[in-house]
Structure 1
Amino acid sequence: MSSASPLAPGSGAGAKGLKAGALGLFSSVVIGLASTAPAYSLAATLGLIVAGVGLQAPIVTMLAFVPMLLIAYAYRELNAANADCGTTFAWATRAFGPRAGWMGGWGIIVANVIVMASLAEIAGVYGFRLVGLDSLAANRLWTTVAGVVWIAVMTAVCYVGIEVSAALQRWLLCLEVAVLLLFAVTALVKVYTGNPPTAIHVSASWFNPFEVSSGRAFTSGILAAVFLYWGWDTAVTVNEETADARHTPGRAVVISTVLLLFVFGLVATSAQAFAGVGTRGIGLGNSASSGDVLSGLGGTVFGSEGAGRFLGKLLILMVLTSAAASTQTTILPMARTVFSMAAHKAVPSQFARLHRRYLTPIWSTVGMGLVSVGFLVLLTSVSRHILADSIDSVGLAIAFYYGLTGFACVWYYRRVLTRSRRDFLFKGLLPGLGGLVMLALFCYAAFDVYADPGFGATSVDLPLIGRTGGVTVFGLGALLIGVVLMPLVTREHTATLRLQRSLLPQHLPRLTAVEAASRYVPADSRSGVGGDWFDAIPLSGTRVGLVVGDVLGHGLRAAATMGRLRTSVRVLARLDLDPDDLLSQLDDVVVQTAREHGGDEALGVTCLYAVYDPVSGRCTMARAGHTPPAVVQPDGGTVSYPELPPGRALGTGGPPFQSAELHLPEGSLLALFTDGLVHAPDHDVNVGLGRLAGVLALPGRSLEELCDRVLAALLPGPVDDDAALLLVRTRRLSARQTADWELAPDPAAVGTARAATTGQLCDWGLEELGFTTELIVSELVTNAIRYASGPIHVRLIRDETLICEVSDTGHTSPHLRHAATDDEGGRGLFIIAQLTWHWGTRYTATGKTLWTEQSLPSADGTP
Structure 2
Amino acid sequence: MKSSPSPTEFATPLAPGPGAGEKGLRSGALGLFSSVAIGISSTAPAYSLAATLGVIVAGVGLQAPIITMLAFVPMLLIAYAYRELNAVDADCGTTFTWATRAFGPRAGWMGGWGLIAADVIVMANLAEIAGIYGFRLVGLESLATSRVWTTVAGMVWIALMTAVCYVGIEVSAAMQRWLLCLEVAVLLLLAVTALVRVYTGGPPTATHVSASWFNPLNIPSPQALTSGVLAAVFIYWGWDTALTVNEETADSRHTPGRAAVLSTVLLLVIYGLVATSAQAFAGVGTTGIGLANPDNSGDVLSGLGGAVFGTGGLGHALTKLLILMVLISAVASTQTTILPSARTVFSMAAHKTVPAGFARLHRRFLTPTWSTVGMGLVSIAFLVVLTSVSHNVLADSIGSVGLAIAFYYGLTGFACVWYYRRVLTRSRRDLLFKGVLPGIGGLIMLFLFCYAAFNVYAAPDYGATSVRLPLLGRVGGVTVLGLGALLVGVALMPVVTREHTAALRLQRSLLPHRLPALSAVESASRYLPADTRSGVGGDWYDVIPLSGSRVGLVVGEVLGHGLRAAAAMGRLRVGVRVLARLDLDPEELLARLDDVVREEGGPDSPRGGVTCLYAVYDPVDGRCSLARAGHAPPVVADPAGGVRYAELPAGRPLGLGGPPFQRAALDLPAGSLIALYTDGLVEAVDGRRGLAETLAGFHRPLESLCDEALATLLPGPVDDDAVLLLVRTRRLDAGQVTDWELAPDPAAVAQARRLVTGRLNEWGLAELVFTTELIVSELVTNTIRYAPGPVRVRLIRDRSLICEVSDTGHTSPHLRQAARDDEGGRGLYIIAQLTERWGTRYTEDGKTIWTEQALPSEG
Q: TM-score with structure 1 length normalisation?
A: 0.98
Aligned-residue offset at 1:821: 3.0
Aligned-residue offset at 1:290: 0.6
Structure 2 match to 1:425: 432
Structure 1 match to 2:744: 745
What is the rounded CA distance, in whole Å, between the counterparts of 2:672 and 2:849 in structure 1? 29
From 51, 54, 65, the equivalent of 2:61 is 54
Identity percentage of aligned residues? 78
Matched, 1:77 2:84: yes
What is the rounded CA distance, in whole Å, between the counterparts of 2:413 and 2:603 in structure 1? 44
- Letter of the 2:829 counterpart: F
Matched, 1:657 2:657: no
Map of 1:353-752 to 2, 5 A cutoff? 353-593=360-600, 595=601, 597-636=602-641, 638-680=642-684, 683=685, 687-752=686-751
Aligned-residue offset at 1:57: 0.1
What is the rounded CA distance, in whole Å, between the counterparts of 1:321 and 1:837 in structure 2? 83
What is the rounded CA distance, in whole Å, between the counterparts of 2:222 and 2:492 in structure 1? 37
CA contact (8 A) 1:781 1:792 kept: yes
What is the rounded CA distance, in whole Å, between the counterparts of 1:251 and 1:280 in structure 2? 43
Structure 2 match to 1:42: 49
Runs of 4+ that moved beyond 3 A = none
Q: Secondary structure at the match of 1:741?
A: strand
Structure 2 match to 1:347: 354
1:771-799 CA-to-partner distances (Å, cap 9, x unmatched) read 11111111111111111111111000001
CA contact (8 A) 2:673 2:698 kept: no
CA contact (8 A) 1:74 1:405 kept: yes
RMSD after superposition: 0.9
Aligned-residue offset at 1:699: 4.7
Structure 1 match to 2:299: 292
1:325-361 CA-to-partner distances (Å, cap 9, x unmatched) read 0000000000000000011111111111100000000
CA contact (8 A) 2:350 2:356 kept: yes
Structure 1 match to 2:344: 337
What is the rounded CA distance, in whole Å, between the counterparts of 2:788 and 2:314 in structure 1? 114
CA contact (8 A) 1:24 1:242 kept: yes
What is the rounded CA distance, in whole Å, between the counterparts of 1:47 and 1:513 in structure 2? 77
Q: Secondary structure at the match of 1:283?
A: coil
Structure 1 match to 2:3: none
Unaligned runs of 5+ in 1: none
Aligned-residue offset at 1:824: 2.8
Q: Secondary structure at the match of 2:636?
A: strand
What is the rounded CA distance, in whole Å, between the counterparts of 2:633 and 2:791 in structure 1? 36
Aligned-residue offset at 1:759: 0.6
Aligned-residue offset at 1:600: 4.9
1:98-139 CA-to-partner distances (Å, cap 9, x unmatched) read 000000000001000000001000000000111111111111
CA contact (8 A) 2:538 2:560 kept: yes
What is the rounded CA distance, in whole Å, between the counterparts of 2:605 and 2:375 in structure 1? 33
What is the rounded CA distance, in whole Å, between the counterparts of 1:858 and 1:220 in structure 2? 75
**Residues 564 and 761 of structure 1: CA distance in aligned 2, closer, same or farther (over 3 Å):** same
Structure 1 match to 2:762: 763
CA contact (8 A) 2:525 2:723 kept: yes
Aligned-residue offset at 1:510: 1.0
Aligned-residue offset at 1:646: 2.1
Structure 2 match to 1:789: 788
Structure 2 match to 1:798: 797
What is the rounded CA distance, in whole Å, between the counterparts of 2:731 and 2:317 in structure 1? 92
- Letter of the 2:713 counterpart: L
What is the rounded CA distance, in whole Å, between the counterparts of 2:216 and 2:377 in structure 1? 43
What is the rounded CA distance, in whole Å, between the counterparts of 1:821 and 1:150 in structure 2? 95
Structure 2 match to 1:233: 240
What is the rounded CA distance, in whole Å, between the counterparts of 1:471 and 1:671 in structure 2? 57
What is the rounded CA distance, in whole Å, between the counterparts of 1:17 and 1:112 in structure 2? 24
Matched, 1:854 2:853: yes
CA contact (8 A) 1:25 1:249 kept: yes
1:371-396 CA-to-partner distances (Å, cap 9, x unmatched) read 00000011101100011111111000
Aligned-residue offset at 1:473: 0.5
Unaligned runs of 5+ in 2: 1-6
Structure 2 match to 1:838: 837
CA contact (8 A) 1:532 1:674 kept: yes
Matched, 1:815 2:799: no
CA contact (8 A) 1:561 1:602 kept: no
What is the rounded CA distance, in whole Å, between the counterparts of 2:493 and 2:227 in structure 1? 32
Q: Secondary structure at the match of 1:416?
A: coil
What is the rounded CA distance, in whole Å, between the counterparts of 2:664 and 2:202 in structure 1? 92
CA contact (8 A) 1:841 1:848 kept: yes
- Letter of the 2:308 counterpart: V
1:380-429 CA-to-partner distances (Å, cap 9, x unmatched) read 01100011111111000000000000000000000000000010000000
Q: Secondary structure at the match of 2:613?
A: strand
CA contact (8 A) 1:35 1:232 kept: yes
CA contact (8 A) 1:390 1:471 kept: yes
Aligned-residue offset at 1:195: 2.7
Aligned-residue offset at 1:439: 0.2
Aligned-residue offset at 1:734: 0.0
What is the rounded CA distance, in whole Å, between the counterparts of 1:699 and 1:600 in structure 2? 39
Structure 1 match to 2:264: 257
CA contact (8 A) 1:35 1:326 kept: yes
**May I ask how many residue pairs the two structures share in their alignment?**
852
Q: Secondary structure at the match of 2:422?
A: helix
- Letter of the 1:747 counterpart: P
Q: Secondary structure at the match of 1:508?
A: coil
1:648-701 CA-to-partner distances (Å, cap 9, x unmatched) read 000011100011000010000000000110013xx2xxx101000111111531
Map of 1:105-120 to 2, 5 A cutoff? 105-120=112-127
What is the rounded CA distance, in whole Å, between the counterparts of 2:605 and 2:809 in structure 1? 42
- Letter of the 1:269 counterpart: T
What is the rounded CA distance, in whole Å, between the counterparts of 1:821 and 1:146 in structure 2? 98
What is the rounded CA distance, in whole Å, between the counterparts of 1:859 and 1:148 in structure 2? 85
1:737-796 CA-to-partner distances (Å, cap 9, x unmatched) read 110101111111112111111110111011111111111111111111111111111000
Q: Secondary structure at the match of 1:648?
A: coil
Q: Secondary structure at the match of 2:497?
A: helix
**Residues 858 and 600 of structure 1: CA distance in aligned 2, closer, same or farther (over 3 Å):** closer
From 33, 36, 43, the equivalent of 1:29 is 36
Aligned-residue offset at 1:800: 1.1
CA contact (8 A) 2:673 2:729 kept: yes
